[in-house]
Amino acid sequence: MLAGRTAVITGAAQGIGLAIARTFADNGASVVIGDLDEAKAKEAAASLATESIGVQCNVISAEDVARLLETATATFGSLDIMVNNAGITRDATMRKMTEQQFDDVIDVHLKGCWIGTRQAAGIMRESGGGSIINLSSISGKVGFVGQTNYSAAKAGIVGLSKAAAKEVAHLGVRINVIQPGLIRTAMTEAMPQKAWDQKMTEIPMQRAGEPDEIASVALFYASTLSSYMTGTVAEVTGGRHI
């Protein structure tokens, strides 16, 4: 489905990002993994089914992101798909949250997504189009206790993506959003059992999702199957908070 295309994915050395990278590679794409941890990025790229590379990248640095995208185009000849996935959490109640914890999460998620979207769209508009996929969260729809920073950032990604989609649609650049719910990763499995059990009661399908189930939606958005879709938000949540 993605043969001959080049995909850049940030924060893809592990978790959901790595699952997306594997799915894209399995469908023929050349993949460039951007991650803060250069060694893990290179290790992850080496594990993929197609020729792929890992690059150190801090998404809040416009210079780092530019270098990441330039590496992709120089190595593989194009930039067809951009997935802004990199993220962090700094959870705390609003009363206890520091300004630094708030700023860090807004910077990585929202500003990082803006930088990635802006730069990728700039390249794609000159080459006839492409697909940008931004990772939000169900937290951006509902708002969770202890996540005033994260919920704000993830809600902002939706607004950013919709506005940007309107600006570049006529140039063949599509921008869509995925909002995962409770997905089984190392991070979520480290939650206290009580918190996990409480979240499970909110899911009509009565199970957590798997990273591959996010990756398959990313594949849909990256491919021509979604050629008439832009500015949309896909909730991949097992029915949670519908």
C-alpha to C-alpha distance for 133 and 79, rounded to whole angstroms: 13
Mean pLDDT of 144-168: 96
- Residues in the chain, total: 242
Query: Which residues, 6+ apart, have CB-to-CB distance to 204 below 8 Å?
Result: 238, 239, 240, 242
Instruction: For residue 188, name the pLDDT band (cuts at 50, 70, 90).
Output: confident
Mind listing the pLDDT tens digit for each residue in 132-150?
999 999 999 999 899 999 9
Across the chain, mean pLDDT equals: 96
In the prediction, which pLDDT does 132 show?
98
Catalytic residue among 83, 150, 152, 230, which?
150
Amino acid at residue number 110: L
**pLDDT at 56 > cutoff 90:** yes
What percentage of residues in the chain have a pLDDT greater than 90?
91
Question: Residue ranges of the domains in the chain?
Answer: 6-181+217-234
Question: Active-site residue 150, yes or no?
Answer: yes
Mind listing the pLDDT tens digit for each residue in 72-89?
999 999 999 999 999 988
| Structure tokens given for 213 | 């189930």
3-state DSSP helix/strand/coil percent for the chain, to nearest 5?
50, 15, 35
In the prediction, which pLDDT does 220 show?
98
Mean pLDDT of 19-36: 97
Mind listing the pLDDT tens digit for each residue in 2-11?
999 999 999 9
Domain over 6-181+217-234 is classified CATH 2.170.150.20: no
Residues facing residue 8 across a β-bridge: 32, 82
Amino acid at residue number 2: L
In 3D space, the residue among 211, 223, 189 whose CA is nearest the CA of residue 85 turns out to be 211
Which long-range contacts link 190-199 to residues 24+ away (Cβ below 8 Å)?
A: 199/240
Mind listing the pLDDT tens digit for each residue in 28-53?
999 999 999 999 999 999 999 999 99
**pLDDT at 187 > cutoff 80:** no
Amino acid at residue number 7: A
In 3D space, the residue among 187, 214, 210 whose CA is nearest the CA of residue 88 turns out to be 187
**pLDDT at 206 > cutoff 90:** yes
In the prediction, which pLDDT does 189 show?
80
Instruction: For residue 195, name the pLDDT band (cuts at 50, 70, 90).
Output: confident
Mind listing the pLDDT tens digit for each residue in 105-130?
999 999 999 999 999 999 999 999 99
